[in-house]
């Protein structure tokens, strides 16, 4: 297949915006007679005039050839080997040899045995093994052109997220791609192309077949990158969230008014989290887990009139423990983070009592998770439009409201008197 070639004069990618070390790697490969392309997310981001997170390089040189070209490099990966080239300040440029298929596609023999080979391929095959069209573009250091086998440039112009090839096949090969499609749509604000969207509806249950560690990594990226609200909105719309976390269906479905309210609450918590992340605040995995579970826990806890105080407390404790472990267990989420999420959630009712009494015991304030518990309390109050009690602000002054960015304060000021 002949790709579309966009010459330097017709695209905005300038070498000025390419990482210096990635350029060194590209040039060195090129001067030794190899093809050397910038690939994946970096080309996409440069075309979108964003600053890329990392610059990946692809070449027709084999791993051992790359390795011998760069003194400061090592080959990693057991199945699909790639080369990491190290630079000062712990900087790494990853160089991979063109591949014929994605490392996550399982190739089965007739006997059903899974074959995994380090099968190198052509540039064309390497473009087609990628997930979505806007991630399948190459920037060629030989003449600074963009090479487009997959229609990525026109999709960037049209602003759509589309899988490369038939979406049914691509999701069947690797269902994690559904999460990636949603994350990239959320990030760019581009809608998901109709065929791709319909395929998610058909294949969403396949997500259960993926390895827990990959699911965890891709899902956490949704929550951590400051695009949790749009990502979770799409996860809810497509139902992929319920395929991943079936228990959530009974609280966040859209069958009743209370479920709709829970949805709104859920999304507004992550809206606030996104804004904090975008202004540079780091939210721990425990806080993200706790935020994630809060609306669910509140929705499933019955306010039974005949339950005594102690029974209610026991019920609450058990529900939290069950939720933290049951809902997240299949995802190989780190045990430590889950345990802290449990403590943060448990601390909420203690905080509430302390507020009623008008004083927070020192024992509570000394807990490792105290600040995070106050944080959750504050963010929940803001999402619900309630005011954050003064006593909490006094208890953790520099950790609750003062560092909340101005724009959030402004937006929620009417609640924060
Ligand atoms: P980011 O900017 O978040 O790093 P990215 O597009 O670079 O986004 P990565 O996870 O770093 O995403 O993956 C690098 C590239 O590898 C992608 O651009 C895509 O081309 C390809 N890729 C990643 N995961 C898959 C997958 N599951 N199937 C096919 N191709 C994939
Ligand atoms: Mg990347």
Same domain, 213 and 224: yes
Same domain, 328 and 380: yes
Same domain, 148 and 1: yes
| CATH number of the CATH domain containing 229 | 1.10.110.30
Report pLDDT digits (tens) over 143-156.
Answer: 999 999 999 999 99
pLDDT at 141: 98
> Would the pLDDT of 376 be above 80?
yes
Same domain, 144 and 200: no
pLDDT at 4: 97
Give domain status of residue 261, yes or no: no
Residue nearest to atom 9 of ligand 1 (CA): 41
Same domain, 152 and 179: no
Q: How many domains does the chain have?
A: 3
Same domain, 107 and 196: no
Give domain status of residue 257, yes or no: no
Report pLDDT digits (tens) over 196-222.
Answer: 999 999 999 999 999 999 999 999 999
Buried b (16+ CB within 10 A) or exposed e, 145-170: bbbbbbbbbebbeeebbbbbeebeeb
Which atom belonging to ligand 1 lies closest to the Cα atom of 136?
20
Give domain status of residue 260, yes or no: no
Report pLDDT digits (tens) over 119-132.
Answer: 899 999 999 999 99
Instruction: Say whether 136 sits in a helix, a strand or coil.
Output: coil
pLDDT at 386: 82
Which atom belonging to ligand 1 lies closest to the Cα atom of 42?
7
Mean pLDDT of the chain: 88
Is 54 an annotated catalytic residue? yes
Structural domain including 41 reads: 1-158
Within 6 A (CB) of ligand 1 lie 40-41, 53, 102, 104, 130-131, 135, 174, 176-177, 180
From 158, 185, 217, the end of a domain falls on 158
pLDDT at 411: 46
pLDDT at 84: 97
Give domain status of residue 269, yes or no: no
Give domain status of residue 250, yes or no: no
Same domain, 10 and 37: yes
Same domain, 188 and 61: no
From 110, 143, 158, the end of a domain falls on 158
pLDDT at 383: 87
CB 264 within 8 Å of CB 233: no
390 or 122, higher pLDDT: 122
* pLDDT class of 413 with cuts at 50, 70, 90: very low
From 141, 158, 175, the end of a domain falls on 158
Report pLDDT digits (tens) over 182-201.
Answer: 999 999 999 999 999 999 99
| CATH number of the CATH domain containing 6 | 3.30.460.10
Q: DSSP alpha helices (H): ranges in 117-256? A: 123-128, 152-158, 167-173, 176-188, 194-203, 212-224, 228-238, 240-244, 249-252
Buried b (16+ CB within 10 A) or exposed e, 3-29: beebeeeebebeeeebbebbbebbebb
């Amino acid at each position: 297949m002949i790709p579309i070639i966009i010459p330097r004069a017709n695209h905005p990618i300038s070498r000025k915006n390419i990482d210096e070390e990635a350029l060194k790697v590209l040039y060195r490969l090129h001067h030794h007679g190899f093809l050397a392309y910038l690939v994946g997310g970096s080309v996409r981001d440069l075309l979108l005039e964003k600053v890329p997170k990392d610059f990946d390089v692809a070449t027709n040189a084999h791993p051992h050839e790359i390795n011998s070209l760069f003194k400061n490099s090592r080959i990693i990966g057991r199945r699909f080997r790639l080369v990491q080239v190290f630079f000062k300040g712990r900087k790494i440029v990853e160089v991979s040899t063109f591949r014929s298929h994605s490392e996550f596609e399982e190739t089965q023999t007739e006997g059903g045995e899974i074959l995994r080979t380090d099968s190198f391929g052509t540039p064309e095959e390497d473009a087609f093994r990628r997930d979505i069209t806007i991630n399948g573009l190459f920037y060629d250091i030989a003449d600074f052109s963009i090479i487009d086998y997959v229609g990525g440039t026109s999709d960037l112009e049209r602003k759509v997220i589309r899988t490369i090839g038939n979406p049914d096949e691509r999701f069947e090969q690797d269902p994690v791609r559904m999460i990636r499609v949603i994350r990239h749509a959320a990030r760019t604000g581009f809608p998901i192309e109709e065929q791709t969207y319909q395929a998610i509806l058909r294949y969403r249950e396949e997500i259960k077949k993926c390895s827990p560690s990959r699911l965890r990594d891709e899902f956490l990226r949704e929550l951590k990158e400051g695009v949790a609200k749009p990502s979770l909105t799409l996860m809810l719309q497509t139902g992929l969230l319920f395929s991943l976390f079936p228990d959530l269906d009974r609280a966040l479905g859209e069958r009743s008014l209370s479920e709709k309210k829970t949805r709104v609450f859920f999304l507004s918590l992550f809206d606030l989290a996104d804004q904090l992340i975008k202004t540079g605040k780091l939210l721990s995995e425990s806080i993200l887990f706790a935020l994630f579970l809060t609306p669910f826990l509140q929705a499933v806890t019955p306010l039974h009139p005949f339950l005594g105080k102690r029974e209610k407390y026991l019920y609450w404790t058990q529900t939290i423990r069950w939720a933290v472990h049951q809902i997240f267990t299949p995802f190989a989420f780190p045990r430590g983070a889950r345990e802290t999420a449990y403590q943060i959630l448990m601390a909420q009712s203690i905080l509430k009592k302390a507020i009623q009494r008008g004083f927070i015991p020192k024992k509570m304030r000394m807990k490792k998770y105290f600040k995070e518990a106050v944080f959750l309390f504050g963010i929940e109050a803001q999402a619900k439009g309630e005011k954050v009690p003064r006593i909490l602000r006094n208890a953790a002054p520099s950790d609750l409201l003062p560092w909340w960015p101005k724009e959030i304060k402004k937006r929620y000021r009417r609640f924060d008197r």
